[in-house]
Amino acid sequence: MTDLEARRDALLLATLPHVPFEGWTPRALREGAREAGLDPTEPGTLFPGGPAEMVAHFSDFADRRMEEDLLALVPPPQKVGERVREAIRLRLERWSGEREAVRRAASLLAMPQNAPLAGRATFATVDAIWHAAGDDSVDFSWYTKRATLAAVFSTTVLVWLDDDSPDIEETLAFLDRRLADLAQIPKLRGRVETRLSLLPNPMRLLPARGRRGRRFGLTRG
């Protein structure tokens, strides 16, 4: 960890208690700096993009803690799917006491001007989850896995924000259902491809002359 990252982490943690009252605002950042014993100009130096940049850093900080928490599990989950589930669970449980700060962070990132930042933060999180789970794909599935998990993770966070069940049981039940749906995608794709392979080639149904005279929908003279 660099000195800059450590300073940004410290200011973030000092600011979090003020967010439920002040929101993610310059005032909250100043209060955090004061509580941490920092110079009043420090927030502008560490987060020149203001509160939105600190929210993005909060997401990155949560990703790093999630990876550490997953590595510390004993015994460790064995299957990739189990590790994905545990990574999300650990990330949510760690911040259960800061749900209002997360709620306000989500509201800030939902503003149109912050859409690119929100997209990058979500992608970074799902990439961290797959990486922590041991996924080493490098083909097109690298993108599809992250896109589908982004939808699962985002909706799970929305459920978690309003979950008052013991040990976030409702959230985890919702997560398990979504991950079960996600696990079916490769199986369904394999079945469809198998069935398609058994169908006759439609090109064979064309007259021989028509087959020779057509290529990519164009008729040759």
Which stretch of 26-35, 84-93, 148-157, 188-197 has the lowest confidence by average pLDDT?
Answer: 188-197
**What are the Cα distances from residue 63, in Å, to 70, 130, 142, 203?**
11, 11, 19, 51
CA pair distance 174, 176, nearest whole angstrom:
5
- β-pair type (218-219, 214-215): antiparallel
pLDDT surpassing 50 at residue 219 = no
The model's confidence at residue 211, banded by pLDDT at 50, 70 and 90, is: very low
Alpha helices in 72-137 (DSSP H): 80-94, 99-109, 115-133
Q: Is residue 182 within 8 Å of residue 149, measured between CB atoms?
A: yes
The model's confidence at residue 188, banded by pLDDT at 50, 70 and 90, is: very low
Beta bridge pairs of residue 47: none
pLDDT surpassing 60 at residue 220 = no
SS3 121: helix
Q: In the structure encoding, which two tokens stand for residue 7, read together?
A: 């300073």
pTM summary value: 0.81
SS3 219: strand
